[in-house]
A and B are shown apart, each in its own frame.
Chain A
Amino acid sequence: MDAAWAILMGLTIASSIVTYYFFRPVGEGGPPKFVSLEGKDFYDRDASIASSHTKRLVLIIVVLIVLAFAVKGFLVPKSFGQDGFYRADALVESSDREPRHMTSESCGNGSCHKYEIDDLALGLHFKISCISCHGAMGHSRTYGDVHAEDATTMQNGTCLECHQKLTGRPANVVPQVDMAAHQREYAYESGEGCIDCHSKHNLMLIDENAADRKEGGQ
């Protein structure tokens, strides 16, 4: 389509040049075809040669212009310039990519993880989407399909990404913990994980054991 248009434009320009060359007014700036000498008209040989050379030159220029437009037609990608100075298809391509991070609804769809999602709704983490902690299942370039493994073997590090005490972390947004001080305070064994006391999804609840230990039990 573009190539055809370019060739058409090239031919138009070429034909206009050729038309002008052949129908231009003689004597008005153009080379004279005859010269008068002592009352007789002589054919001006030099002018004739110049004229034929010019014809050849014009032909070459016309061919080059047509060629340039044809090449441009092939090189400029399809749909370029349709909506602006860009390839209109690129916008379609970038919107066609498949999303990888799904919403929590997709985890609960078909009631696969309905229990977990209902449980989450009871606690403080109710606004947080599943993938915030669990990651985008099956799309990890580093670990491959993490749906089976990482999702169920979450370590303290997952909690501490948000809850580790850190300069700049606003205390009014998340409760923060200094693990060493936390262990001193609650006297748990170093091998125990966060979820041994704190429940997994409905984060409002704290295991009874933790309360016991704080009072000196066990």
Chain B
Amino acid sequence: MTELSRRSFIVTTSAAAMSCGLASYALAGAGEEHTYEFMVDPSKCIGCIHCVKACILENDVPEHNFRTWIERYTFKKDQTFIVESPNGGLDGFGEPDVDPKDIKKAVFIPKLCNQCDNTPCLQVCPVGATYMGPEGLIHIDSEHCIGCGYCIQSCPYGARFYNHETGAADKCDWCYHRISKGMVPACVEVCPTEARRFSIDGSDPLIASEKNEGNTRGLRQSIGTEPKLAYLGLEEKVR
């Protein structure tokens, strides 16, 4: 008698709990979702830093922090290379500290959050302040973030920083407040040479076609983070 009632009690309560969970799951997330694609063409980047300035203005990025920045890779003839990014590029690149005769090639590489599909920053967040939205982008809940900095250390691309004004981790979210309204990110809007291209639901067919032809690759693909940000015709040594 008692054995039976105990079992039935457990069964009933667990069934009730499960149906509660299912109901809340069914009610959630009925918004429209879009496909966002971002492609960077380093061969078109002229290092004008308009994107970096626009990003700082658009997103209130504190001084000496960057959601996007420009690096210059100078490849020398002896197979070595140097990377420069003076204050994210804001201080001006000038000429590299290399004999011009030794330079084989130099290229500007715009950097920003790669929006990885298998991202380490998401895995280390202890409070769920870094999360993947329904569209696959990685966002930061700056109100919920406790500023522990695990994610900043875990990002292999150095895309994250500690924002001293909000007391939270911060990074590029591909200007989610713009792309969710159908605009392109601020850096893409100001880019004078179309080195940065953005597509909402396939609005820029070139990105999809370059991806399909296998001309693009992500940064550091070997580490398995599966970055969504595509670089067109990227030099092998760029990481």
Q: Cβ of A16 and Cβ of B74 under 8 Å apart?
A: no
In chain B, positions 180-202 with a C-beta closer than 8 Å to chain A are 180-181, 183, 186, 189-194
Which 7 pairs, one residue from A and one from B, show the smallest C-beta to C-beta distance?
Answer: A86-B131, A168-B106, A90-B141, A97-B177, A95-B180, A132-B190, A101-B186
Q: Cβ of B183 and Cβ of A169 under 8 Å apart?
A: no
* Closest A residue to B13 using CB positions: A12
- Map CB proximity to A onto B28-70 as digits: 1 under 8 Å, 0 otherwise: 1100000000000001111111100110011010000000000
Cβ distance B70 to chain A, nearest Cβ, rounded Å: 10
In chain B, positions 150-194 with a C-beta closer than 8 Å to chain A are 173, 175-178, 180-181, 183, 186, 189-194
Partner of A167, one of B103, B175, B181: B103
Q: Cβ of A85 and Cβ of B128 under 8 Å apart?
A: yes
Taking Cβ atoms with an 8 Å cutoff, the residues of B that contact A are 2-3, 5-6, 9-10, 13, 17, 20, 24, 28-29, 43-50, 53-54, 57-58, 60, 72-74, 93-96, 100, 103, 106-108, 128-134, 139, 141, 143-144, 173, 175-178, 180-181, 183, 186, 189-194
Cβ distance B144 to chain A, nearest Cβ, rounded Å: 5
Residues of A within 8 A of B24 (CB): 82
In the bound complex, how far is the Cα of B58 from the Cα of A135, in angstroms?
A: 11
**Within 8 Å of chain B (Cβ to Cβ): is A128?**
yes
In the bound complex, how far is the Cα of B191 from the Cα of A90, in angstroms?
A: 29
Residues of B within 8 A of A93 (CB): 143
Residues of B within 8 A of A12 (CB): 13
Q: Cβ of A95 and Cβ of B6 under 8 Å apart?
A: no
Contacts across chains A and B counted by CB atoms under 8 Å = 147
* Closest B residue to A23 using CB positions: B2
**Within 8 Å of chain B (Cβ to Cβ): is A46?**
no
**Within 8 Å of chain B (Cβ to Cβ): is A153?**
no
Bin the interface of chain A by size: 35 or more
Q: Cβ of A141 and Cβ of B60 under 8 Å apart?
A: yes
Residues of A within 8 A of B141 (CB): 86-87, 90
In the bound complex, how far is the Cα of B58 from the Cα of A152, in angstroms?
A: 22
Residues of B within 8 A of A41 (CB): none
Q: Cβ of B47 and Cβ of A166 under 8 Å apart?
A: yes
Cβ distance B204 to chain A, nearest Cβ, rounded Å: 13
- Map CB proximity to B onto A49-79 as digits: 1 under 8 Å, 0 otherwise: 0000000000000000000000000000100
Residues of B within 8 A of A91 (CB): 133-134, 139
**Within 8 Å of chain B (Cβ to Cβ): is A113?**
no
**Within 8 Å of chain B (Cβ to Cβ): is A162?**
yes
Q: Cβ of B48 and Cβ of A103 under 8 Å apart?
A: no
Partner of B183, one of A23, A84, A87, A99: A99
Residues of A within 8 A of B57 (CB): 100-101, 135-136, 139-141
Q: Cβ of B72 and Cβ of A77 under 8 Å apart?
A: no
Cβ distance B215 to chain A, nearest Cβ, rounded Å: 17
